Structures are given as structure tokens and as C-alpha cells.
Copies of this chain bind each other. A is one copy, B any other.
Amino acid sequence: MQSSAPRHPQLAPSERILMGPGPSTVPARILQAMASPTLGHLDPEYLAIMDETRELLRAVFRTRNELTLAVSGTGSAGMEACVVNLVEPGDEVVVCVNGVFGARMKDVMERAGATVHAIEIPWGESFTEIQIADALERHPKTKVLGIVHAETSTGAHTPLEGVAKLVHDTGALLLVDAVTSLGGMDVRIDDWGVDACYSGTQKCLSCPPGLSPVTFSPRALEAMDARKTKVQSWYLDMTMLRNYWGGNRVYHHTAPINMTYALREALCLVVEEGLDARVARHRENHERLRAGLEKLGLRYIPEKSLTTLNAVQAPEGVNEAEGRKWLLENYDLEIGAGLGPFAGKAWRIGLMGHASTRRNVDLVLAALGELLA
């Protein structure tokens, strides 16, 4: 296969340290696994890799849910997959909105034909059980309550330990966004009684973006089995995806083979480190960063911060965009901007997965110290 045109220059992206709201820095081991030879999507070797990936996903989600798999899209595709499979036109749902991703879930619910009761609190705040119980009482026909565990736009953490009981007592299902927590903070699907949960690969799993881990409880499966209408998305229809990932291996669509290699490797790294050790590492590095940031005079936006993402107010008199650009150009170091009401007013500093290290904490503190000096 001779070329008739000159060869394009080789791709040579800078080696950034990714400390924004995701993607996080990807370990070499994962990049190498991703570059393994492509198998066919029905090759017995690939099917074995899918099985192994599902087992690893169950371990990381801390669940025994049979229906646990990776949706062939990014985290937002996982959100949409959960919504369109659980919700039918006319269903009533409650969505808890305290940032971009709660608002997105509301939008996705509406597009699926749900009657959405949104409970909104100021961005940066976390939901309380009282607020949730109150919403459920006001909307007794709620089929699904959707909530964001780790709100990436503000860094707010909403603890979920007691939420499922409130939701289940009314007969509803609990849908959780764990995009920025899975693999970095405690996420306990079975212990907490979560019925459906989605995440992304490019946050605390430190895998490139492109897949969305999802899991559905037996109660969620019952709701799907009781549907009267077809799922509006063919691509995300779990009734068919179950047959490809499950026993029958019925061809649905061609899975992103090499992305599955990468996800399997990322999950291996999580399991090898151990979930408890990993959660502790994220907490320790967060505390070290927090102490340093506060010493620099920076103030946290959320009352209850995630350990995986640190949203702080940009200091008065500093152009936050110029600051980020300076870090990128001088340190190959990426941090994130504010969103919504915090656009132009905040920095979001991620400590996710492979990027949550003492080395990175000290580096970003040194760089910010230089910038703010």
C-alpha cells in the first residue's frame, strides 16, 4: 500500500498532568493495554475479556448486580442509558439539582417524556435527607429519584448512606450519578441500596474517556421488565445489551474493543490497590491539598467537598483563565474552570485516580504559589 501523498506529521500531544475535572492522567500500563491488537467483537478471547471486565466492574461498584456492564459511550451516555431504560413517557420522577450534572439529568429525563419534579438548591450545597424525604412526600407517585453523588461542577459531595431507605419506602427507585466518585470515593451499590448507577472511565479510574460503567439492581430490572413501551434509544436499550454482554452473546453493536482493554486494565489497577486503600489515598491527598490551598488563601466553594475534586474561588484580582493558561504553558499542568454561576470565578482541581498523588499535590501547590506570589 504505497502512499501517493506525503505522510502527515506524527501525533505528539504534550504530556500533561491532568488535574482538572477529568480526564485524569492515564497510566502507561493502561495506554499500552489499549494499544493491544484488536480482536473481533464476537471472538471467544474478546468475550472472555468482557466477562472479566464485568466481574471487575462488580468489584469496583461493590455489587452483585447481574446487569453490570460498560455502555459504549462516555458518562453522559451512561446517564441517558439509565434514564431511558427506567423511565417511560408520563412517569413521575424527582431530580435533585445542585449543579450542571443534576440539571443535565433533569433535561435527559424530560427528553425521555418524564414529568420531572426538580428540587433545586444553590450550587455548591449538598442535599440532606430531610430535603429528599420532603420531595418524596410531596410527589408520592415518584417512580425514580435521581441524585448526583459527586457534583463535578461544584465539587459538592452528597452522602447517600440513608437515601435509599427513604426512596424505597415510597416504592421508588434510586438512580445515582457516580461519575466523579467511582474508584476514588466510597461507592457501595449493594450496601446503600442503589438501583441504578452510572460512571465514567476518565475520572477516578484514570482510563481514557469513551465508556460508561453502569449497574442495575434486581428492582431496576423488574421495572424494565414491566415497561409498556420500547426504550426510546435503540443504542442504549438494555434489553438488547443484556443479551450481548450476557449469556446469549447476541450481536447488538460492535463494542469499542480497545477501550474495553483499557477499562479492564484500569479496573485491574483499582482492584490491585484495593478499594479501601484507594479511597484512603484520595482522602489523604485531598486533605494535604486542602491545607495547602487554604494556606494560600483560597476558599473552598462547597460546604462538603469531594476528595476527588477541589473547587475553590479564584482570588480577587486574578484572571482565572489566564492563571490556568499559565499553568498549562509553564507546568504542562491542567486544572479546570468554574461552570454556570462559577464561570470565570473558580478553579477546579482534580485529584483523581492515578493523578491523586502527594507529588501532584505538592506540584500544584508550588505552581499556584508561584502564580499568586
Contacts and interface: CB of A to CB of B under 8 A. Distances in A.
Interface of A: 1-8, 10-16, 18, 20, 22-23, 25-26, 31-41, 43, 45-46, 49, 72-77, 80, 104, 107-108, 110-112, 200, 202, 208-210, 230-235, 251-259, 261-262, 264-265, 268, 271-274, 277, 281, 328, 334, 339, 354, 357
B5 A274 contact: yes
Contact of A1 (B25, B209, B281): B281
Given A38-B25, A235-B77, A43 B254 contact: no
13 contacts: A4-B277, A5-B273, A8-B268, A8-B272, A18-B40, A20-B40, A25-B38, A41-B209, A73-B73, A209-B257, A210-B259, A232-B232, A258-B262
- Max chain B CB contacts within 10 Å: which of A32, A233, A268, A357? A233
- Max chain B CB contacts within 10 Å: which of A23, A38, A251, A274? A38
Among all A-B residue pairs, the 8 with the closest Cβ atoms: A210-B256, A35-B35, A8-B268, A208-B258, A76-B253, A3-B272, A31-B35, A4-B274
A7 B210 contact: no
A288 B262 CA distance: 38
B11 A265 contact: yes
Contacts of A14: 37, 39, 45
Contacts of A75: 253-254
Nearest to A231: B111
Given A72-B77, A259-B259, A265-B11, A209 B254 contact: yes
Contacts of A46: 13
Nearest to A109: B234
B210 A3 contact: no
B3 A334 contact: no
A23 B40 contact: yes
A111 B233 contact: yes
Copies in the complex: 2
A253 B253 CA distance: 21
A314 to B, nearest CB: 17
Contact of A36 (B12, B25, B259): B12
B18 A38 contact: yes
Given A39-B14, A76-B253, A80-B233, A273 B1 contact: yes
Contacts of A208: 38, 256-259
A227 to B, nearest CB: 13
A338 B290 CA distance: 59
A3 B34 CA distance: 21
B23 A111 contact: no
Contact of A209 (B31, B45, B255): B255
A4 B278 CA distance: 10
A273 B209 contact: no
A210 B72 contact: yes
Contact of A16 (B34, B37, B73, B251): B37
A41 B23 contact: yes
Given A35-B35, A38-B208, A258-B262, 8 more contacts: A1-B354, A14-B37, A18-B38, A23-B257, A31-B258, A34-B35, A76-B253, A256-B259
Nearest to A261: B11
Contacts of A254: 22-23, 74-75, 200, 202, 209
Contacts of A273: 1-5
Given A41-B23, A210-B256, A272 B35 contact: no
